[in-house]
Amino acid sequence: MWLGRKYAEAFNVKDAEYLSIVEDLLILEGVKQMDKHIQHSDITTLEHTLCVSFIAFCVCKKLGLDYRAAARAGLLHDLVYYDWHEADPAHKYHGYRHPLFAVQNARALTELSEKDVDIIIHHMWPLTPIPPRYKEAWVVTFVDKYCATKETLRKYKKNPVNYRNE
């Protein structure tokens, strides 16, 4: 279990409270589409956003913050319908532009609060220089970096453990 028990539980769909918060999003075609594109190493965008969403949910719950917003916006924070590794002019400056694309795509799927937008639009801070306003957005931006680092480092491991136990 490369990211620990809680991450695995999220993938094995066992945390009832977490799932009750995001289940309406997980069944949407737009959200499922994230599983078609690689985010880091061999991790799909959906796996990555689930990682961010679930860990941010746990952290915010522990800190007495709005864990619902963290879970939902965390799941939508990278909602783009392309593989950013592909050399396509439309993906140029992906790092800077995709938070806005994600907000636009997420708005087409569900209602977003001001806090949700803050979480999604500022998750690339400090690459995008305007910092988050809400504490939950700070949690998501740091959890995103944690997950991205773990996922990227998988590439360098000789015998990566398949965390899905498939």
Binding residues vs Fe ion (CB under 5 A): 78, 144
Could you tell me the smallest distance in angstroms from the CB atom of residue 88 to Fe ion?
A: 17
Of the pair 66, 144, the CB lying nearest Fe ion is at 144
Could you tell me the smallest distance in angstroms from the CB atom of residue 36 to Fe ion?
A: 16
Q: Is 120 left (phi over 0), alpha (psi -120 to 50) or beta?
A: alpha
Of the pair 47, 78, the CB lying nearest Fe ion is at 78
In whole angstroms, give the CA distance from residue 106 to residue 108.
Answer: 5
Of the pair 20, 149, the CB lying nearest Fe ion is at 149
User: Please, what is the end-to-end C-alpha distance for the chain in angstroms?
Assistant: 12
Q: Which amino acid is at 106?
A: A
Q: Which amino acid is at 98?
A: H
Could you tell me the smallest distance in angstroms from the CB atom of residue 144 to Fe ion?
A: 4
Could you tell me the smallest distance in angstroms from the CB atom of residue 92 to Fe ion?
A: 15
Under 8 Å between Cβ of 74 and 18: no
Of the pair 47, 66, the CB lying nearest Fe ion is at 47
